[in-house]
Structure 1
Amino acid sequence: MKYLSLIILMLAGSALSGQTIPQDAYPKCPVDQKTFDKWFLSGNPSVNGFVKPADSVGFSESSVCDFYAWSKQMFLWLTSQSAGTRVFDSSTFYDVSPADSSHQRKFLPHGRGPITHLMAPRFAKEGPHGLPIIEDKSGDLFEVVQPSIDDSGKQIVVDNTGSIVEVSKASITGNHKLAFQDRSGKNIELPSPTAHKSDSEAANAIQTAREFIVNGRPVFVDSSDNIIDVDQGQAGSFGVLESQTDGLVYYLSMTNDVYAYFLTGVKNDAIPATQFPTTKTDLDAIERYAAAHGKPGFTDAQALTLELKSSWIEVDERTKKSYITTTATIPTYNKSDPKKWIPNGEKQVTLGLLGLHIVGSVAGHPEMIWATFEHFGDTPNALYSYINAQQLPVSVPQSTAGTWGFSASNSTGPFNVAHMKVDGANIVAESGFSITPSDSLRVYPWGAAGGNASANTFLISIQNSISALMPKGDIRSNYFLVGATWTTSGNAPPAGQAGATNVANSTLETYTQKPGGCFLCHVSRPTPSLAPNALSHIFGGESTGLQPLFPSAALGSK
């Protein structure tokens, strides 16, 4: 069987060669011109023209294509520009602060003028409690509690009497357990495993691991004190991603105003909710609550609740021409030590968008649609297949040839191995590495296993269809829909997971690309649930996660 011709989408003004997209995939998801025209506010597609948000309240489905079309329209809306401001930078959206020591976050409102975000370089894959995630070789996930360090820089543990003891030496015993000695060389007796089993493991399911440093290397143990077998380069803390041109990747979370007032109403006991809003009745209740508290209306209420997570890289006058950009304040570092960078200030820069998660509730789907987009120049694809116009399967081999943001040209791996991590405010090298770029690979190019040609074809088809309709020169054409997932009939995940079930973003989930995709982490275990705090890691419980925009007592909401 011969390979079909492929077109390489070269990015104007960029040194990156970009993805190859098969051009004669079977048209499983065509978007017609009339439908596409209606997406634009003017009714007439134009270069960088303003696109309306998808109607989440009126969402209806006849095939997976409806979910992918919702995703594409939402991306075009969020990245539309009006009066010099992208929609995601407008007052419709709020930044979400990082979790503090109590696992609480805050809404950070956008003003009506230009905004400068605060961003930091850390790997953004978090568990339900804002902790970093590792994966063992069998595929199980663990949230990691980092080691406690005293003022002298020594690791400390709590012994079986409840006393805090400094660890002078750590080792692995013959029966594959951890052993610690104190300053005098005496063995430290630790509490029994059941004494430190975490609430999150008992109630919500991703298991909890503790990190210890043994001979300069991280070692992870589960709640039974068994050492967890992980691959080299697993980040026990938040891994840091660096481009091939030595640019760090920065991360940002946001929600829209409907989400903010919905959460505030729920946590102030003013809006009863067991799931994210999906109906006009749900939306009406949120709008009434917002109006009663000084917000007369939402500009784009039909979008319902939206949660965004994005990845960014610093760009200059030459490279920014191919990126959607924003302004941010980022830390600067003393880089004299190749194994430890220490912050020494901050600077305001222009950042280019690398990847974007769009998560939103729609009619009939309180579990939400989980979609992700990437810049064409990010990362090469692993092997995948699709169905061509003659309805025959075609295999596209893995290739790292060309110039990529996150892989060396013609690299043979190893791929997706963290070389460094965040340690407090510092960036430190992982054991065996210096602070250097690693090579990334998109393990599931279209969110499905390599052999799932039919599933891949839906996404390739809608990509080609909309690319053909987009006005030439529109900067948003430099991004593509990697995939989206949801569940059939709005079931609590992971039951009935549909769409691109293994979807992952190579700049947002670089080190955790596994079967199950988004619902590997955004799910309640052992009992599936549609509760907002079960699906959204930032939503949190009554006293954790995002805090209300305002307290209920001050406004008499309860």
Structure 2
Amino acid sequence: MRYLFAKSCAAIAGTAMLAGLATPAQAQIDLPSDVQQTCTVSPDTFTSWFLEGTPRANGPVRPADSVAFPEHNTVCDFYTWGAQMFLWLTSPDYNTGDPLVLDGPAVFTVLPVNHQGYRRLVDNAPDAGPLQLAVRSEKADEIGELGQAGGSGVLMSQNGSLVYYGVHVNDIYAYFLTGQKTGQFPRETKFPRDASDLQAVTDYTEAQFPAALVPAPEALVMELKTSWVAANTVDDPDRYVTIEAVVPTFDRGATEWTRDGSRTTELALVGMHVVGTVQHHQEFVWASFEHIDNAPNAPYYYTDSEGNLQIHRDPSDVGYQFMAAGDHMFRTRENVECMKEDQGNIVANRDDQGNLVCRNGIAPSNTMRMNPWGSAPDKSSAENNTLLLSINNSIRSQLKDGDRRANYVQIGGIWTSQGSDTKADAPIPDTADFSDTDLRGSLSLANATMETYNQDTSCFSCHQQSKSAPNSFQAFQLSHIYSQIVPLNVGLNDN
């Protein structure tokens, strides 16, 4: 396979804001240590992930080889893929010295939609400056904006920071989109998912972008979502992956904050969706990650090392980033949306009678993962919960002391059974909607920082084929931003 030269990108734009500071969070989710080891990564395999040949705290990691993803796969194979991809994206870039692969030449940043309805891919050139991040705004019915799924809710940590969001794609996604939209792949609207598809994209890139290098083509197509808080509001920034970014500022009132500029600040990563194709899975595999300080889980079941069913409860007597301390918080079982984005500003939510939903107007709310590990909180979920607990314990135990990535866990993953056909040329069923029988993994996957107020659905509730589309895995249906993105080297008037 050819490796090409490429200047890529990563910088995120939009509208966000920093609120006042409060007392740092103290709690973290408590993963049980007696979990049955149903999904583990061997020491030899784990060591092979590190570019330097041995694990080192915060050391560079290779991307998972999506082209060689097992045809006869297990659930654990998908969770292992997600784990390696997260470690890679949050690694220092070995070739460029960038603080993160996420901010290096393998990744492009997708700017928010402009007034014309288009988005641009931003080149991550050395002089591009810090990331620009946005408060999530409302998601449209068909095509997503940078917003909470199903609404325009704005999330604030207990420590007073708004949550800032970014959307990124990798280089293969960017070059495939450019070729497809400029007629180089006229019949191909499915995302690349095998070696032949990948070679077509790299051949096109070599011909049309001769000065480019694709550092990690084996990653296939990836789309990423990230969530951040102000680093000076977390209890210990050294326990977080951090980055410098440009965020909006606001003129703050009790019930409305009006955008009035921007500032550069350090942000701490609290969540990430890692979404990508693997061999014969052009529907995307969705894996989600969160910091262990974020929020507690509702009680959940798992299987211990003796094969017995156990129930686990996260600590409730101390606070989390997005949950105040107190048992009464756990009993409410409700994530209240205090405020929302409105045309770039932030306004307090009101009920039908005009009363403030939250007494303090624009303020932190309490957040819990209602479906721990992306599954219903009942005994039927014990097997999937155990798989995720097992691989999280396996990965975290093998990371060296001081590795910031050990403070993040994979909260779940989801994919479809339809994409698992081992025949590369097998037809994909033209079903209009995915049903629960089509889905595998964490069927109620929701990230506490990204789907805070809509935890009763899953990724494929929104990212699936519409009934009117002729093909069940078209790129513009699975990726809500695909149709809005302007191809590379195509001008766009932002005025």
Partner AA of 2:400 in structure 1: P
Partner of 2:441: 499
Partner of 1:104: 118
What is the distance in 1 between the residues matched to 2:272 and 2:31? 20
Higher share of residues assigned strand = 1
Partner of 1:442: 369
Q: Which runs of 5+ in 1 are unaligned?
A: 1-13, 135-140, 144-234, 553-558
Partner AA of 2:33 in structure 1: Q
Partner AA of 2:476 in structure 1: N
Per-residue deviation, residues 432-459 of structure 1 (Å, max 9, x unmatched):
1311111111111101111211111110
RMSD in angstroms over aligned alpha carbons? 2.2
CA contact under 8 A between 1:323 and 1:353: conserved in structure 2?
A: yes
Q: Pick one of 59, 67, 71 that aligns with 2:78.
A: 67
What is the distance in 1 between the residues matched to 2:162 and 2:147? 20
What is the distance in 1 between the residues matched to 2:129 and 2:388? 34
CA contact under 8 A between 2:237 and 2:268: conserved in structure 1?
A: yes
CA contact under 8 A between 1:128 and 1:522: conserved in structure 2?
A: no
Q: CA deviation at 1:261?
A: 0.2
- Match status 1:322 vs 2:239: yes
Identity %: 37
Q: Pick one of 438, 458, 478 that aligns with 2:407.
A: 478
The DSSP-based 3-state class of the residue aligned with 1:85 is coil
CA contact under 8 A between 1:421 and 1:429: conserved in structure 2?
A: yes
Partner of 1:549: 488
CA contact under 8 A between 1:125 and 1:509: conserved in structure 2?
A: no
Partner of 2:35: 25
The DSSP-based 3-state class of the residue aligned with 1:461 is helix
Pair member with larger Rg: 1
Deviates more, 1:109-118 or 1:438-447: 109-118
What is the distance in 1 between the residues matched to 2:126 and 2:146? 34
Per-residue deviation, residues 260-297 of structure 1 (Å, max 9, x unmatched):
00011111110241311011111111111111122443
- Match status 1:340 vs 2:280: no
Deviates more, 1:424-433 or 1:521-530: 521-530
Judged with a 3 Å threshold, the aligned counterparts in structure 2 of structure 1 residues 441 and 401 are, in CA distance, closer, same or farther, namely: same
What is the distance in 2 between the residues matched to 1:131 and 1:306? 18
Q: Pick one of 389, 396, 413 that aligns with 2:305.
A: 389
- Match status 1:526 vs 2:471: no
CA contact under 8 A between 2:179 and 2:204: conserved in structure 1?
A: yes
Q: How many residues align?
A: 433
CA contact under 8 A between 2:180 and 2:189: conserved in structure 1?
A: no
What is the distance in 1 between the residues matched to 2:169 and 2:194? 19
CA contact under 8 A between 1:127 and 1:537: conserved in structure 2?
A: no
Partner of 1:207: none
Partner of 1:303: 219
Partner of 1:509: 451
Judged with a 3 Å threshold, the aligned counterparts in structure 2 of structure 1 residues 354 and 123 are, in CA distance, closer, same or farther, namely: farther
Judged with a 3 Å threshold, the aligned counterparts in structure 2 of structure 1 residues 536 and 357 are, in CA distance, closer, same or farther, namely: same
Q: Pick one of 76, 86, 103 that aligns with 2:100.
A: 86
Q: Which runs of 5+ in 2 are unaligned?
A: 1-23, 351-355, 420-427
The DSSP-based 3-state class of the residue aligned with 1:25 is coil
Q: Pick one of 114, 123, 143 that aligns with 1:129.
A: 143
Structure-to-structure mapping, 1:241-390, within 5 angstroms: 241-271=155-185, 272-295=187-210, 296-316=212-232, 319-335=236-252, 337-390=253-306
Q: TM-score with structure 1 length normalisation?
A: 0.74
Judged with a 3 Å threshold, the aligned counterparts in structure 2 of structure 1 residues 500 and 17 are, in CA distance, closer, same or farther, namely: same
What is the distance in 1 between the residues matched to 2:79 and 2:104? 25
CA contact under 8 A between 2:29 and 2:296: conserved in structure 1?
A: yes
What is the distance in 1 between the residues matched to 2:188 and 2:26? 46
Judged with a 3 Å threshold, the aligned counterparts in structure 2 of structure 1 residues 385 and 259 are, in CA distance, closer, same or farther, namely: same
Q: TM-score with structure 2 length normalisation?
A: 0.83
Per-residue deviation, residues 94-152 of structure 1 (Å, max 9, x unmatched):
11111234432111111136741111222576643236989xxxxxx9x6xxxxxxxxx
Partner AA of 1:464 in structure 2: N
What is the distance in 1 between the residues matched to 2:442 and 2:84? 18
